[in-house]
């Protein structure tokens, strides 16, 4: 059993580092298909809470240095830790770069990136937890194809305007958060020349329709 699979099989206490801060948490894998993605509940000691309270009493201009050096103190109670998979260094670096480039979309159309961490000797991204449901978790009847496409196209158009396309069209990468879609797993976001943007958008849209229609077909055939 490899380390990633072992991470999936249990809820456990763990630690990771961000800059000069060491963060304790209770973690479990998001699902069996992504054992490298952990859902964490941050564990803070009484001393941690006292230090945080003291820092937050400082004037804003004095808070910037401790927040930069000890970012772990200022994480929300729940975060996602996405560790580097073996032999996926290029994809990891690309995902981090895309998050930084799409800073204006963070917290709305994509998760928020809190920074990079070290976890069990491996690089990891610390991301915000998205409150929503996967497409297959919808109450039945599910959204119609055109309704789902309209939600996703809002995100696709934002990417397209920046010359970006989304290669990994999978149901597991779209979270329905009330009246919007949050796109996750940005490893496969890619850049293209300006003259290819319209083609990229239409290609992504066609792939999305095919994947979601397959889900609707299963629903109509009583397989859900």
Describe the crossing of helices 46-56 and 60-69 by its angle, rounded to 10 degrees: 140
| 95-116 burial code (b ≥16 CB/10 A, e <16) | bbebbeebeebbeebbbbbbbb
- State the alpha helices, DSSP H only, in the chain: 3-8, 46-56, 60-69, 89-101, 145-161, 197-220
Contact 40, 25 (CB under 8 A): yes
Reference 163, options 200, 132, 131, 218; nearest CA is: 200
Q: Three-state SS for 116?
A: strand
Helix (H) or strand (E) holding 71: none
Domain 135-220 sits in CATH at 1.10.510
Tokens of 94: 């690309």
pLDDT for the residue 200: 86
Whether the CB-CB separation of 22 and 72 falls below 8 Å is answered with: yes
- pLDDT given at position 31: 79
pLDDT of residue 1: 45
> pLDDT per position in the chain (224 positions), as tens?
455 555 556 799 999 999 999 999 999 998 777 889 999 999 999 999 999 999 999 999 999 999 999 999 999 999 999 999 999 999 999 999 999 999 999 999 999 999 999 999 999 999 999 999 999 999 989 999 999 999 999 999 999 999 999 988 999 999 999 899 999 999 999 988 888 888 888 888 999 999 999 999 998 887 76
Dihedral sign (CA 137, 142, 145, 150): negative
Contacts of 223 (CB under 8 A, 6+ apart): none
pLDDT at 8: 52
Q: pTM of this prediction?
A: 0.91
């Amino acid at each position: 059993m490899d380390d990633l699979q072992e991470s999936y099989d249990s809820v456990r206490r763990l630690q990771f580092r961000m800059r000069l801060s060491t963060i304790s948490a209770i973690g479990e894998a998001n699902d069996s298909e992504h054992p490298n993605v952990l859902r964490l509940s941050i564990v803070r000691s009484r001393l941690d809470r006292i230090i945080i309270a003291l820092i937050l009493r400082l004037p804003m201009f004095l808070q910037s240095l401790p927040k930069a050096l000890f970012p772990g103190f200022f994480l929300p109670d729940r975060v996602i830790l996405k560790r580097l998979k073996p032999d996926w260094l290029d994809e990891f670096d690309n995902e981090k770069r895309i998050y930084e480039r799409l800073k204006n979309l963070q917290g709305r159309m994509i998760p928020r990136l809190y920074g990079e961490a070290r976890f069990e000797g491996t690089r990891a991204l610390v991301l915000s937890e998205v409150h929503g449901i996967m497409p297959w978790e919808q109450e039945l009847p599910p959204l119609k194809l055109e309704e789902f496409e309209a939600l996703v196209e809002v995100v696709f158009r934002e990417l397209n305007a920046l010359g970006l396309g989304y290669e990994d069209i999978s149901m597991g990468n779209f979270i329905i958060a009330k009246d919007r879609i949050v796109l996750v797993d940005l490893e496969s976001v890619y850049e293209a020349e300006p003259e290819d943007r319209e083609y990229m958008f239409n290609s992504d849209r066609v792939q999305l329709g095919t994947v979601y229609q397959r889900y609707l077909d299963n629903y109509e055939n009583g397989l859900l």
